[in-house]
Amino acid sequence: MKKEDTKQRILAEALKLFSVNGYDAVTVEQVAAAVSIKAPSIYKHYRSKRDIFDSIVACMSEMDMERAKEYEMPEGTSEEMAEAYQDIPMEKIRVYTKAMFLHWTEEPFSSDFRKLLTLEQYRDTEMARLCQQYLSTGPVEYMADIFRSMSDSDETAWQLALEFYGPIYLLYSVYDSTQDKTGALAAIDRHIDRFSVYMERFRGGVAKAGKS
């Protein structure tokens, strides 16, 4: 087995264990057993269990940046990238949002990371911060930056972001608990499509108000 393959398997298997049992309950020995190597071999790749966790977080950050680039979504605040945020059509937002939902539900590494943060957010302040960053406040703030260029105030942009992202966040739980995965994905599509229609009407109203 190649060294790089082993490193990645350690991360994947450790994250899988963390997402089920919690970070504190998992030992290096359990991770090694899941990878089918001896515990001392873990230390050829990572200094400690904490180093494994930090590497998982680094992987998630890299995946986020790669996905934003892939779907040509801006990285940075609306103040830093005002022109980029102003030029985002709703169709691009729709495609990116669906891709992110699949990322958090169907990709094993990302899905396990989401489950870990959901499980641990009330036990550990760092996990709570990461949960906010990746799954709640962070996405809402990102969408508010996008909607700020389409609305008449920061308050309106924040409200639009809540109305857009709230059902998506709820549907993560629906997706996890239902056998009808196709139905959950269809619900995402309906929500995004209806919100897109709403946003077109809203933007038209803002434009008319600006001319009057």
State which fold the 1-58 domain adopts.
Answer: Arc Repressor Mutant, subunit A (1.10.10)
Q: What's the pTM value of the predicted model, to 2 decimals?
A: 0.86
Summarised one tens digit per residue, pLDDT across range 177-192 is 999 999 999 999 999 9
Where does the chain hold its CATH 1.10.10.60 domain(s)? 1-58
Domain 71-211 class?
mainly alpha
The rounded distance, in Å, linking the Cα atoms of 212 and 206 is 10
Where does the chain hold its CATH 1.10.357 domain(s)? 71-211
Is a pLDDT exceeding 80 seen at residue 208? no
Stretch 45-59: mean pLDDT? 97
**What is the residue type of 182?**
T
Summarised one tens digit per residue, pLDDT across range 112-121 is 999 999 999 9
Summarised one tens digit per residue, pLDDT across range 26-43 is 999 999 999 999 999 999
